[in-house]
Amino acid sequence: MLAIDAAAYKSPWRDVHPAVKGTLFGGLLLCALALPAWPGAAITAVTALVVAFGPAGVEPRAFARAAWAPLLFILTGSVTLLFSVGAPGDAAAGPALGPVAWDPDGLARAAEIVGRATAALLCQLLFAFTTPLADLLPRLTRIGLPAALVEMVALIYRMLFVTLDTARRIGTGQAGRLGYATRRAWIRSVGSLGAALFIRSYDRAQRMQRGLECRGYTGELTVLVDALPLRPQALLAAAAVPLLVAAATIGSGVWL
């Protein structure tokens, strides 16, 4: 099981209805995308972190381990916004290096995108850290999502764990035979692992298809989910948080 899934199953909000958490984190996500980036993104990110490490009880170390890779992707992707290509002779442009020049507006644009993307990422991670996907998927068809799409997501989700477990077992066997002792052995072992993983995954997919057909699969996997109460008070409280964030952002813009 992935660390983020293990954290979701142990979350104090595991018994909260996914609609309540969707209202809270979905509303914060809208705030991150729709409100002015500054200070809207900063207020949204701070609110998400306060909720994560406060009532949601998310472990900071696990949250940091899950967030560092996408944050690094956001930062490296924003670097390209600092430069423009094809206008070295433009007087408004900064120092040029061949066909690439410093974009005077790039820093503000990069800061806006980094702020929005970081706030949106925190909201999505917070939802993932408090809501197991197995509790969410069966309920998606009730709000109108196509059953075929939900089935595909559920199957990919389950096959992901099978693939990861297979890769771990193969890698452990290779390491026991000193398959990663040298650089050449490491390259050979990684190639063998990828080839074996593809063949086994394809074989498992075929066997799963045959198994489903033998059980009378009609295009819909029926699973049981725990009945969780959906209280209107909880929905209103969840909706109040993004509304307060929007009000604080608009109010700060008026004062500024």
* pLDDT, tens digit (0-9, with 9 covering 90-100), for 104-115: 888 888 899 999
Segment 78-93 shows an average pLDDT of 70
Cα–Cα dist 224/207, whole Å = 23
Q: Residue 200: which pLDDT band, with cuts at 50, 70 and 90?
A: confident
Residue 178 and residue 245 in one domain: no
Q: What pLDDT score was predicted for residue 58? A: 87
What pLDDT shows up at residue 120?
92
Residue 18 sits in the same domain as residue 125: yes
Mean pLDDT value across residues 83-103: 66
- This prediction's pTM: 0.75
Number of structural domains (the chain) is 2
Quickly count: other Cβ atoms within 10 Å of residue 129's Cβ.
Answer: 23
Question: Using one digit for the tens of pLDDT, what is the confidence trace for 42-81?
Answer: 999 999 899 888 888 888 888 898 889 999 999 998 888 8
pLDDT in tens, 110-129: 899 999 999 999 999 988 89
Shared-domain flag, residues 78 and 154: no
Helix (H), strand (E), coil (C) string for the chain:
CCHHHHHHHCCCCCCCCHHHHHHHHHHHHHHHHHCCHHHHHHHHHHHHHHHHHCCCCCCHHHHHHHHHHHHHHHHHHHHHHHEEECCCCCCCCCCEECCEEECCCHHHHHHHHHHHHHHHHHHHHHHHHHCCHHHHHHHHHHHCCCHHHHHHHHHHHHHHHHHHHHHHHHHHHHHHCCCCCCHHHHHHHHHHHHHHHHHHHHHHHHHHHHHHHHCCCCCCCCCCCCCCCCCHHHHHHHHHHHHHHHHHHHHHHHHC
Mean pLDDT of the region 180-191:
88
Q: Which token pair is 188?
A: 């050979």
pLDDT of residue 73: 92
Asked if 105 and 155 sit in the same domain, the reply is no
Convert the pLDDT of each residue in 136-170 to its tens digit.
Answer: 877 777 777 787 788 888 888 878 888 888 888 88
Looking at the chain, the whole-number percentage of residues with pLDDT higher than 70 is 90
Q: In this model, does residue 92 exceed pLDDT 80?
A: no
* Stretch 81-89: mean pLDDT: 71
Angstrom distance (rounded) from CA 46 to CA 237:
18
Q: Does residue 221 lie in a domain region?
A: no
Q: Are residues 43 and 123 in the same domain?
A: yes
Where in the sequence is the domain holding 175, given as residue range(s)?
A: 138-214
pLDDT of residue 89: 54
Residues 187 and 153 in one domain: yes
C-alpha span between 145 and 174 (Å, rounded):
43
Decide if 45 is inside a domain: yes
Contact 129, 66 (CB under 8 A): yes
Do 65 and 148 sit in the same domain of this protein?
no
